Every structure is written in structure tokens, then in C-alpha cells.
Structure 1
Amino acid sequence: MVSTDKRNQFPVRVRRAALELARQGPSALDGLYDLTSARLLRYALTLTRNHEDAEDALQAAMIRITVKPQALSQAKYPWAYFLRIVRNEAITVVRRRKPVSRLSPLSVPSIEAELALDDEEVRNQVRLAVRRLPPAQGEVVVLRIWEDMTFLEIATVLNQSPNTVASRFRYALEKLTRMLHSFENEPAVGSRK
């Protein structure tokens, strides 16, 4: 988990980058993009469950921010506001999908057969497990664990009550525990009895 100091620094850095974008215009977009894109893409991927759609949502959000940089720089909580924009764009992208694409399998990296579990395989199993959660629960997990946001901050982004957010997180953790426990009990690929 990220320390409280680091957790508090990221929103401050986003605010600075947003102010810079408002002052300098599109030439300052690179700084904001470099700072936020990996986190925003991870969040969008949680919502869309498709890498290309997540990239489309991120691109649309960046365009919205570029067109109206003052909206981000003047927001009370710029990072939460930016997450809300990405969330709205991701929902729009999912709604516009062709019905056939909804039936396609999740785009997740395959896990290569190895004799023993390694860190990358464990990370992949966690990613797969989070993607198997209902979207509302997966979204809360990503914001709470990877973005280290409080339930109140998440509630602001999702426009939900903190109690609803906390319940979704608790249910998600119960499901993840079961999913990952079953993974832990599977024999390693390539092992023999």
C-alpha cells in the first residue's frame, strides 16, 4: 500500500499539472498525460474490460480536458474530477459498442506455462480476478487499492454514498479471496504428482 504522504502528493501533482495546462494550453498536456495516463487507463480498463475501448475512453477524456482545461484546474478535487470524466467516457464507449463486441472474450494476457508461480503470474491472476468481479465492485477495488483513494473520495467520483462504496469493496474482497484462494490451491503448471 502507498504511504499517506505519497497518496496525498499525487492529487497535488495533478492539480499543478491542471493549472499548468490552463495557463499554457495544449502544449502542457504532455505533463498531465505522463502523470495520469497509466492510472486512468487502468481505471478505464476496469470499466470497459477491453484495452482498445479503455484507450478510446482515455483519449476522449484527454480531448475534453484539452478543450476546457479550466474545468479541471478549477475543480475542487481535480484528480477525482478527472476520474469522473474518464468514467463517463468509458460508459459512453461501452454503450456505443456493437452488440457482437460485448460477447467477445476479455482481452487479457495469457499466462505462460511455467514450473513454479512467479510474481508476474500472480499479478496476472489478480488482474483476471478483478476483471471477473461485477464492474461496480471492480471499479471500487481499483480506486481503493491501486489509486489508494478513501471511500469518501471514491464516493465522490462515483456519485454514490460512502456506505455503498464500502459495501461494494467488502463484497469484492470476499469474492477475490475465494477466487484467489482457489488459484492458490491449484497445482503449479507442469508439476507432477
Structure 2
Amino acid sequence: MEVKSVIPENDKIIEVFITRHSQKIYNFIFSKVLDKNITEDIFQETFIKMVKTLKKGEYSEEGKFLSWVMRIAHNLVIDHFRQTQRKRIFRNFEDFSFLSGIEDGSPDAEKHLIRQQTENRVKRLIEELPPDQQDVIIMRIYRDMTFKEISEEMGVNINTSLGRMRYALTNLRKIAKRNNISI
């Protein structure tokens, strides 16, 4: 949990802040990732970003300094989970549920059946798309990735990933119309 040589000797204020708040920030990060090595990496990156921002003069004193540093740590934790989540491109539709966020929690058999039928229809529609369009749909809608993240994951420029999404949506409409499915 030690900060490695990013603090110049003449910046005693930063050093005092780190000494005073490092354990709180470290514990916050660890509570989210539950891994000592990852926590240490994110902890280091948090303070590197803090010092770089201060050195560039880009910090604006709109709120509390500790809250700002905690926000940096929080964003780095989110970045970590996004990176680990997008390591795989899903093509196997059994790996996730399309409508998992739409449930109302009631054990209604009819609602469950309708939900299952809708999921199956959506799966069949997506399976008819070309693989690159399937990937874009899954990454954008079901994995909540940005187009920038999608373009990096697929190794294409952002305009290509945007175009693939546009074609995928157009093709989904055509496939649904051809199969008399309203969407």
C-alpha cells in the first residue's frame, strides 16, 4: 500500500494528504475488488492520477479534496471491472439473460412464460445476424460497452463499430418483419 516515487520532495501537502487518507482510500478500493494485488494497482493509479492532475493545474476546488480523490478511485475500480468483463465476446446466448433487468419480481407463471418466449425470439433474431453485427449488439446492449470500448475490443475504428450497429439494427428490423414479429 505504499505510494512509489510519484511525490516530489517539495510537495509536503500532497504527502500529508496521502499519509492521512491512504488507508481510507485503500480500504474503499479493496471493499470493491476484494483482491490485494488489484487493490494495490488501483491504489497506485489513483495517486498517480491525482498528482498528475494537480501538477497540470487541472484540479478545480468545487468540492472536498478527499471526495475528488475517492471519485478517481471509484472510476478506476469501474474501469477495472469493465476491462475484465469485456475480455470475452459472447456468442453463446445461454450465457446471459436478455431481459434480466425487466423483471418485476412476482412469481407470475404467465409473465415468466411471456418473458421466456420474448427472450427466445430475440435470440433467434440476433442469431440471424452476421457475427460482427451480433458482437456489436451484444457488447453495446447487453454488456453496456461504449462504442469506443467496442472498437478497441474488436480492433476496428469507432466509425466501423457505429456502422456495424446501424446495420445490425436495420437487419434486425428486416428479419423481424420477414418473420412477422413486431419490435
Q: TM-score, normalised by structure 2?
A: 0.43
Counting helix residues as a fraction of each chain, which structure ranks higher? Answer: 1
**With CA pairs under 8 Å and 6+ residues apart, which has the higher RCO, 1 or 2?**
1
Q: Which has the larger radius of gyration?
A: 2
Q: TM-score, normalised by structure 1?
A: 0.41
